[in-house]
Amino acid sequence: MALLDVQDLSIDIGGIKPLDSIGFAVDKGETLGIVGESGSGKSLTALSIMGLLPLIGGRVERGSIRFDGMELTRLPEPDYRRLRGRRIAFITQNPMTSLDPVIRVGEQIDQVARLHLGLSGSAARRHSIEIMERLRIPEAATTYHNYPHQLSGGMKQRIVIAMALAANPDLIIADEPTTALDVTIQAQIVQILGELVREKGVALILITHDMGVVAQACDRVVVLYAGRVAESNTVSAIFASPRHPYTQALIGCIPRNAMERGSLVGIPGLVPSVARYPAGCRFHPRCTRSESLCEREVPVLERLASGAEIACHVADKHEAAHA
């Protein structure tokens, strides 16, 4: 049984349904990438798992989110509060929204260990510094006493990761953790997260719009478009033989691939507004292979014999599909 198993997840926010029948699973020691452009539903998926939809006026309309055998969609809020931070940790894309500017960064890491592990002041401090050292934060004992404004963007993100690790969680959800960082620091953060998965055996959900990050860090990937799963597969299979036109377009946007072709190919148009999703396949207005069927009928997400999943009328599905 997977550590986290999401099935047929659909959510409602003020009568609008920005997520429709999302499903995936992730186990300990595995990194799952959730990829797509802004507006695809990646962050809403994370908020659903964390039980934070009520903060934005949303609710789970249908489906199941099972974590270690617990059905989270029916979990009372007091139980959810004990779960957040302790067993499921959340890393946001902007560390300044996670860090209190008037509290020293080490004390902010301590707070997690005190709350969830019951450590005393001195024990929490030692625990925090050990985590900071593990994350290769230079002069950790000194940095412990710094305020957020005294640290670089990459160092602040490491502090946020340290806060996520402070209670030894089983699952970490990282929502665009490298977006605001330069490419060198991005690579370091991705490397650190990968080491955590291998050494600590945690499960990691890495939310990103960058297929290059997916190629570097993930074992499997779920491609979202306009609130639906377009395709999911192992990372090696996705890059070797992407099936959905949207997945192919995302891979075509990787700068390294563009250099090999001699040109950077973008995806025409924009992800549609949740209030104006088109009929049929939601990608068809931007798809170079769209047919009349794509405009009329919603493609069903089919599972192929290899375990790949694809929702497309025109994609190659030479494997036999099964239920």
pLDDT on residue 321: 45
SS3 233: strand
Where helices occur in the chain by DSSP H, the ranges are 42-50, 77-83, 105-117, 121-134, 140-143, 153-165, 183-200, 211-217, 235-240, 245-252, 255-261, 292-296
Q: What is the dihedral of CA 309, 242, 3, 185, to 10 degrees?
A: -160
pLDDT on residue 256: 65
Q: What is the dihedral of CA 70, 76, 79, 81, to 10 degrees?
A: 120
Q: How far is CA 154 from the centre of its chain?
A: 19
pLDDT on residue 262: 61
pLDDT on residue 319: 56
pLDDT on residue 93: 79
Q: Structural domains in the chain?
A: 4-87+169-318 (3.40.50.300), 96-168 (no CATH)
Q: Which residue's structure tokens are 């305020």? A: 147
Digit-by-digit pLDDT tens for the chain (323 residues) are: 899 999 999 999 999 999 999 999 999 999 999 999 999 999 999 999 999 999 999 999 999 999 999 999 999 999 999 999 999 999 987 877 889 999 999 999 999 999 999 999 899 999 999 999 988 899 999 999 999 999 998 899 899 999 999 999 999 999 988 776 778 888 888 888 898 899 889 999 999 988 988 998 999 999 999 999 999 999 999 999 999 999 999 998 877 655 565 666 778 899 999 989 999 999 999 999 999 999 999 999 999 988 899 999 998 766 544 43
pLDDT on residue 196: 86
C-alpha span between 55 and 281 (Å, rounded) = 30
